[in-house]
Chain A
Amino acid sequence: DSGVTQTPKHLITATGQRVTLRCSPRSGDLSVYWYQQSLDQGLQFLIQYYNGEERAKGNILERFSAQQFPDLHSELNLSSLELGDSALYFCASSVGQLALRQFFGPGTRLTVL
């Protein structure tokens, strides 16, 4: 158990819909990262937040957004969902902003029908 929690574990929705994925980092960690794992794209970095502020941005679509709240939990919002958004979404956390070790949650499996 990494100490990072993600909810829900599974999510099934339809094209065009909007969903929110939630992540609680390990106690004491200030950075949260989001990654997408899909069969065709592999494991890709989406975005990083540190203590409530966006710190790094990867291949995140404009239809996706994220935020980190004062209690340090984070939410990833995915809107206007397409079939290709079906993937496993991982959250990771680390103590600092420039971390050599990230702890991964178990992931949320999103299926878009």
Chain B
Amino acid sequence: GNSVTQMEGPVTLSEEAFLTINCTYTATGYPSLFWYVQYPGEGLQLLLKATKADDKGSNKGFEATYRKETTSFHLEKGSVQVSDSAVYFCALSDLGETSGSRLTFGEGTQLTVNP
């Protein structure tokens, strides 16, 4: 079945540091890929998405590129802020396998940014 593997956390950075959170996936077909963010006490919010190979998703300074050859979708940001502290989830959507849709999530990576 489909699966998503994220780099182990937690990750602690200083403000303005460069962020990379690794994500690799296993899927049949051509899934869409997502990064969701969960702030403390809240539900998940879509951060960015990519629907086909070589697509780059971007939002709020975060970027991720859909790499089919390495089955990866790593999240990057050039300069993190304290307000970026949250849990980040990589996910895929296997629209092709069933008549519905579902998200398969990675384990989540806790990011803490210190001033």
Contacts and interface: CB of A to CB of B under 8 A. Distances in A.
Interface of A: 2, 4, 31, 33, 35, 42-45, 48, 50, 55-56, 58, 90, 92, 94, 97-107
A88 to B, nearest CB: 9
Contacts of B102: 33, 45, 48, 56, 58
A106 B43 contact: yes
Is chain A's binding surface mostly helix, strand, loop or mixed? Answer: strand
B9 to A, nearest CB: 12
Interface stretch (B45-53, B63-71, B72-80): B45-53
Given A100-B32, A106-B43, A55 B105 contact: no
Contacts, number: 64
Is chain B's binding surface mostly helix, strand, loop or mixed? Answer: loop
A94 B45 CA distance: 13
A41 to B, nearest CB: 10
B110 to A, nearest CB: 13
Interface string B22-66: 000000000010001000011111100101000000000000000
